[in-house]
Homo-oligomer: A and B are copies of this chain.
Amino acid sequence: MRIAIPKGCLQEKALRMFDAAGYPVPDELDLASRRLVFRRGAVEWILVKDCDVPVYVEHGAADAGIAGLDQLLEHDSTAYQPVDMPFGRCTLALITAAGAQGLTSASTATIATKYPRITRSWLEQRGHRAEIIPLGGSVELAAVLGLTSHVVDLVETGETIRTHGLEIEETIAAISPRLIVGKDIYRTNPGGARELIERVRQAVGSEERVCAF
């Protein structure tokens, strides 16, 4: 069974969760190497960029993984999302530069975002008009530097937003990381799938009560 772990801020918590679920995970020394693939027992762990986890699972190149709802929506993922993680929760929000006007059907707003697909579909649903400018990172900076009038991005505490003199105009979605399970494993290893979901569910359940990951 191959499981995809998102590199970066969710990586440690995700691995700790799988550890709690009783799966052998790579240790800190392993991770300090620059390797991205680790076989431990029956599991092959792969470390990939957070936005690539849904892609690996979608195409059957990984059996399961941990991915944020933001990435799942942006990639229109069809994988199962049986368990929500108790960590890494945040919101996807529309953020406004100071003094920028609100969005309307005739607005001349511009929106920087790493999520052009989600943003577009949200704009269409609301009937708002805006030009979307896809960026790869440091999205808030776009509004600070006047590249765009608005930003759609993840917000955790909102502190950065305030520091930069920006404002949260509207929440678009509540985001949490999820265990995702691809369709193939249900056919090829249904027992493994069932066990994975059960063990993760229990790990999350007990942990949730005791402490944050």
Q: Using a CB–CB distance below 8 Å, which chain A residues touch chain B?
A: 2, 7, 36-37, 46-52, 55-56, 59, 61-62, 133-138, 141-142, 144-147
- In the assembled complex, the CB of A43 is this many whole angstroms from the nearest CB of chain B, namely 14
Nearest-neighbour CB distance to chain B for A136, whole angstroms, equals: 4
Q: Which 8 A-B pairs have the closest CB atoms?
A: A49-B137, A61-B147, A49-B136, A51-B136, A52-B135, A52-B136, A61-B145, A59-B147
Name the distance in Å between A12's Cβ and chain B's nearest Cβ: 18
A141 lies within 8 A of B48 (CB): yes
Tell whether, in the assembled complex, residue B61 and residue A146 are in contact, meaning their CB atoms are under 8 Å apart: yes
Chain B contacts for A37, CB-based, 8 A: 141, 144-145
Q: What are the residues of chain B within 8 A of A144 when measuring CB–CB?
A: 37
* Docked complex Cα distance between A133 and B57 (Å): 13
How near does chain B come to A13, taking the closest CB pair, in angstroms? Answer: 20
In whole Å, how far is A204's beta carbon from the nearest beta carbon of chain B?
26
Between-chain CB contacts (< 8 Å), 5 pairs: A36-B138, A48-B138, A48-B141, A56-B145, A61-B147
Contact A52:B145 (CB < 8 A) given known A59-B133, A133-B59: no
Q: How many angstroms from the CA of A134 to the CA of B133 in the assembled complex? A: 18
How many Å from the CB of A64 to the closest CB on chain B?
Answer: 14
A135 and B59 within 8 A (CB): no
Closest to A110 in B: B59
- In the complex, the answer to whether B61 meets A135 with C-beta atoms within 8 Å is no
